[in-house]
Amino acid sequence: MTDVLDPFRLDGKVAVLTGAGSGIGKATAELFASVGASLILGDIDEVAVTSTADAITAAGGDAVALRCDITQKSDNEALVGRAVADYGRLDVMGNIAGVPHNQMLTDVTEEELDRMLAINLKGPFFGVQAALGQMLTQEAGGSIINVASSGMDFAAPTLAVYAMTKAAVASLGRTAAIEGAHKRVRVNTIAPGATVTAFTEVSVTDEDGNINSEALDGKIKMLTGASPMQMIGEAEDQANLILYLASDASRFATGQIWRCNGGAPMVW
């Protein structure tokens, strides 16, 4: 008898995920492996992404790790190329890697702006470009998932650069969806709200790498209080949504922005 959850499984599917060394990327890799996907994992932190792949393999999954600087077109192409070399195709691309940024607009230097554009915009662009190029040659189509942010939905001090890059990623997804639709390549974007990851600690960490636990607790309480649900997201919450969009359960969904944020923008 067919299980109602079968459409959510990824048995026999090949997925490339960036940012898989930590946070949402790591949680997504672990979830994908648990439902049968074969994984090519990329991250600029080679030690971290290798640890993710090793843990998946040790648990009986199928994963390989590659160091990937998403700002480099060739590195994105290498991830997709490895999937094709090992399995003959690419079914899912998750462009998850990205970095936060908090700085008043008038204080942003040209160098910092260029860095953010390279990581948060060029990176996903190169990922979509490489994946779409491959998927358009296949008969089975595919699914591309980009990660933007709910920060693009509201105006707040210090978010100018971050929100701008994430809004651009959402726009990229819609255009790519149109270009891939005729071959049933689906492209969707998720927009996470406040989610606990390693980046949550960045603003409360000193120059020596010491985390101010009191400040961290205060930050989490503040973010929790900003949610109508009085919750802060976990990486797994976003991974669950990414799985839906990667799976055949969402086969008729494309070109959309999916917000997973506890309703937070409603109160800004």
Among residues 32, 125, 126, 162, the one annotated as catalytic is 162
**For residue 211, what pLDDT is reported?**
72
Integer Cα distance of 25 and 230 in angstroms? 24
Domain positions in the chain: 8-260
pTM, entire model: 0.93
Q: Are 111 and 39 in contact (CB under 8 A)?
A: no
Q: Which CATH number fits domain 8-260: 3.50.50.60, 3.40.50.720, 3.40.50.300, 3.90.1150.10?
A: 3.40.50.720
No. of H helices and E strands in the chain?
Answer: 8, 9
**For residue 155, what pLDDT is reported?**
79
Integer Cα distance of 7 and 202 in angstroms? 38
CA atoms within 13 A on the CB side of 17: 33
- Residues whose CB falls within 8 Å of the CB of residue 243, separated by 6 or more in sequence, listed in order: 8, 10, 28, 31, 32, 35
β-sheet bridge partners, residue 17: 41, 94
CA 83-125-9 angle, 5° bins: 45
**For residue 206, what pLDDT is reported?**
66
Residue with tokens 């843990």, as numbered in its chain: 55
**For residue 267, what pLDDT is reported?**
47
**For residue 159, what pLDDT is reported?**
86
Residue with tokens 């891939």, as numbered in its chain: 180
> What CA–CA distances, in Å, run from 80 to 17, 61, 136, 192?
10, 19, 13, 25
**For residue 246, what pLDDT is reported?**
99
- pLDDT per residue rounded down to tens, the chain (268 residues): 567 788 999 999 999 999 999 999 999 999 999 999 999 999 999 999 999 999 999 999 999 999 999 999 999 999 999 999 999 999 999 999 999 888 899 999 999 999 999 999 999 999 999 999 999 999 999 999 999 998 888 778 888 999 999 999 999 999 999 999 999 999 999 999 888 776 666 666 666 777 777 777 777 787 787 778 888 889 999 999 999 999 999 999 999 999 988 887 654 4
- Residues whose CB falls within 8 Å of the CB of residue 41, separated by 6 or more in sequence, listed in order: 16, 17, 20, 21, 25, 29, 49, 52, 53, 63, 64, 65, 66
Q: Are 172 and 124 in contact (CB under 8 A)?
A: yes
Strands 14-18, 38-43: parallel, antiparallel or unpaired by DSSP? parallel
Is 244 among the residues known to form the active site?
no
**For residue 201, what pLDDT is reported?**
64
**For residue 262, what pLDDT is reported?**
87
